[in-house]
Amino acid sequence: MSQQTTTTPLTFTVRRHEPELIVPAKPTPRELKPLSDIDDQGGLRFHVPLIHIYQSNPKMINKNPASVIRDALAKALVFYYPFAGRLKEGPGRKLMVDCSGQGALFIEAEADVTLKQFGVELQPPFPCREELLYDVPGSSGILDSPLLLIQVTQLLCGGFIIVVRFNHTMCDAFGYIQFLTALSEMTKGTSTPSTLPIWQRELFCARDPPRVTCTHHEYDEVVDTNGTIIPLENMETRSFFFGPTEISAIRRFVPRHLTRCTTFEVLTACLWRCRTIALQPNPEDEMRVMTIVNARLKFKHRVPVGYYGNVFANPATISKARDLCNKPLGHALELVMKAKSEATEEYLKSVADLMVIKGRPNFTTVGSFLVSDVTRSGLHEIDFGWGKAVYAGPDHHIAGFYTRHINHKGESGILVPIWLPGVAMKRFVKELDKMLAQDDNDDHVNPKHVLANSKL
C-alpha cells in the first residue's frame, strides 16, 4: 500500500535574527549579463524553495551552522557573483543580470524543536514551513529582487534545517547543485570550487532567424473554460513513497511491448492516470503531463562543465480525460515515453526560438501535471561539515518532484509530494491503492470510471 502523510499538529516557535545581505567577500566585476532564451521564459520566472535537513554531529558541537554557511556564502559569491546581482528587463522582455554585488539574503534562526519531534518520516508537508523560510517583504519579486534567500534554522538537538530559495531563471536543478556544492566546499576551507562556474548563456539563445521546428504542446494557449486550474488555498499536500514493492506492483500493468520503460516513466504514467481520475474532469477535456528532461547529454557538442544555466526541456503529451481514465496504463505510459524521447538538441533550440517569436510565453497550466526527477541530482550528498542530509528536496506546488528517500523500514525508494484539493486527494489515494493492491491474476484493465461533469 502507498504510504502518505497527513497534516501533523506539531507547532513550534522560530526566533529569527534580522535578514541580512551577504555580499561577495572580494570585489567582483560590475557588468550586465543577459540570460539565455531558455532561462528567461515566462514559466521560469518564479522562486523555488528547497529544504535540506541535517542531523547533529558531535564533531561539530562548537560550530554554529549559520555562521559557517554565512562565511562560505560570501566566498562562494566571489565565483558566482551574478547571484549577488539583480534582474533587469530589456526590450522583448529579455532578462539580464545587473551584476551589482548587492548581495544574497541570509537569515539566521533558532527553533524550539528537535528533529525527532518532526516524526519518523521526514517528508513534505513540513510543519510551520513558512517559519523555516521567512518571505522577507519585497524579496519575492523577479526584477530588482535578491536572486537567493537562505535561512539556516538551528534545532534544539544540534541538527539544523537550511531552506534555499532561488530564482529559477538563474539555474536549473543541476546548476543549483553545482552552486551548493561550491558553497559546501567553502565551508570546509576550500578557496576555489572544484568546478568553476561558466556563464556562456549565448549557447542557449535563439537562432538567427529564429524558427520553431518542433511541436511544443507545453506552450499551447488554452483557455480555462471549465475551471480546471486549482486555487492554491484549496490544495492539500501528501507525500507518497514508492519502494521496490510498489514499483513492481505498478509494473504488472505494463504491456509486453513497453517493458523497457524506466521507473520514472511507469510511475509518471500511474500518477498522471490516478490524478486525472481523482480530479473528475469532463471526458472530453485535454489533460497534459509535462516531464522535465535534463538535456545536457543530448547535445552533440557537449555543454561545458561548469555551465549552471537552465538546460532542460519539458515536452508535454496530451490525452483526452476519457482515454486516460478508461484505457489501461499502457495508454498513458506510451504517451509519457514518447514525450520524453522528444527532448533532443533540436527540440531545445526550437524552444529558444519559440520564446523569441512568441514573447516568452508561460507553460500551459490548464489540465497540466508537471513532474521532475531529482533522484540522481546529488541533493542528499551536499555536506556542510555535519554529514549528508537526512532529507533534501524542492518544496513547491508547481511540480511533482521525485526525490530519493529511505522510509522508516529502511527501504530505499522514491518520494513524490502530490498537491490536490482535499476531496480529490481522497479519490487519488483510493485509486492509487487499488493499483498497488492488484493480485497477479487480476484483470489489468480497471473497470470503467464514470467521469462527473462537476468541477472542483
Q: Where in the sequence numbering do the catalytic residues fall?
A: 168, 383
Alpha-carbon torsion angle 127, 129, 130, 132, nearest 10: 120
**Single-letter amino acid code for the residue at 111:** A
Write phi, then psi, for 68 (nearest 5 degrees): -60, -45
**How many Å is the Cα radius of gyration of the chain?**
22
Q: Sign of the CA dihedral 73, 144, 400, 234?
A: positive
Is omega for the bond preceding 209 within 30 degrees of 0, making it cis? yes
32 three-class SS: strand
**Closest of 424, 419, 381 to residue 401, by C-alpha:** 419
Name residue, grid cell 544555466. 309
| Distance, CA of 243 to CA of 248 (rounded, Å) | 9
Q: Which H or E element spans position 269?
A: helix 263-279
- Please confirm whether the linkage preceding 34 is cis (ω < 30° from 0): no
Burial of 451 (0-12, 13-18, 19+ CB in 10 A): buried
Q: What angle do CA 237, 240, 243 make, to 5 degrees?
A: 165
